[in-house]
Amino acid sequence: MKARTIALIVIVAVIVGVAATFAWWFRYRPFAVFAFQTRRALGAAGLSRTTVESAAGPQVVFRGGSGPVLVLLHGAGDQAGGWSRVVGGLVKAHTLVVPDLAGHGDSAPAEGPISMPMLLDGVDAVIRDASGGRPVTLAGNSLGGWLAMLVAHRHPEWVERIVVINGGAIKGTSDAELLPADRAGARELMSLLRDPGSPRVPDWVLDDVIRLARVGPLARFAATRDTMDGFTLDGRLGELRLPVELVWGASDRLMPLEYAERMKAGLPDARVVPIERCGHVPQVECPQELLATLQAVLGERP
């Protein structure tokens, strides 16, 4: 057999092997594929990956752009790449700082329970590293919104304003199962998180939701739920003396619009900005609508 023929066979075999591997990951680990693709998209938007040391261990951060510092904090179980579809529209006017929260993505700790002190230690270190001693804007989704409010409450001199996206630091009323054990439970959870008009989530994606409910960062965070009561601002929202934008996917049934209205009633300087036909994670479900809303609220001086 000629050398050229052998080389061709080897190349074809490699291509087939790579395709088969990708197909397996796409079918059985779709959230890992999503993370890979979205983190590459952060780089394509001009953000560079770096590491910040913290009391929780090394924290991975994507940073780029110029202008006032805007820190984007994702929710529980997510990672920095979840913001990939809005960063391109924000990076021209802001220095974007997009961390993997502690225990998420590639940030430490890589295993074991994830507690609120760990998460706060990670965010504190990221802000100190990025701020240059000047107040920053914090925008957070879900758990990220909770963290943004806690950081602003603890360190008001660090924060100019906060944008809370379907999250918050007061207790909710939902008894939804966030760690489903079967497809029926996963389907119900997705229905709470997403607008009814959004595309149906395939069963093979639900299977990965179930898997991550056992071993993912959300499960690791949930393991510390008995310690979380000390990290709420119920009855103390009035102590937040900075502007708060409550940007809300109005179709969210896990943290409904009523939750945002309750926070607004307790905050000295806040407004609710709903996004219609959008659920709990707008940066993934309806990124263009969220981007337009963020550009509008961030374009106004506090």
For the residues 113-140, what does the mean pLDDT come to? 97
pLDDT of residue 18: 38
pLDDT > 60? residue 9: no
Q: How confident is the model at residue 27 (pLDDT cuts 50, 70, 90)?
A: confident
pLDDT tens column, 154-196: 999 999 999 999 999 999 978 899 999 999 999 999 999 999 9
pLDDT > 90? residue 265: yes
pLDDT of residue 280: 98
For the residues 276-299, what does the mean pLDDT come to? 97
Q: Alpha-carbon torsion 213, 218, 220, 221, what sign?
A: negative
pLDDT > 80? residue 256: yes
> Which of 6-15, 214-223, 249-258 bottoms out in mean pLDDT, i.e. has the lowest?
6-15
Q: How confident is the model at residue 274 (pLDDT cuts 50, 70, 90)?
A: very high
pLDDT of residue 14: 41
Share of the chain above pLDDT 70, in %: 90
pLDDT of residue 10: 46
CATH fold of 30-298 reads Rossmann fold (3.40.50)
Q: How confident is the model at residue 1 (pLDDT cuts 50, 70, 90)?
A: low
pLDDT of residue 13: 43
pLDDT of residue 28: 83
pLDDT tens column, 130-150: 999 999 999 999 999 999 999
| Higher local confidence (pLDDT), 233 or 22 | 233
Average pLDDT in the chain: 92
> Which of 8-12, 69-73, 192-196, 228-232 bottoms out in mean pLDDT, i.e. has the lowest?
8-12
pLDDT tens column, 59-102: 999 999 999 999 999 999 999 999 999 999 999 999 999 999 99
pLDDT of residue 124: 98
How would you class 247 by CB atoms within 10 Å of its CB: exposed for 0-12, middle for 13-18, buried for 19 or more? Answer: buried
φ, ψ of residue 140 in degrees (nearest 5)? -135, 140
For the residues 191-211, what does the mean pLDDT come to? 97
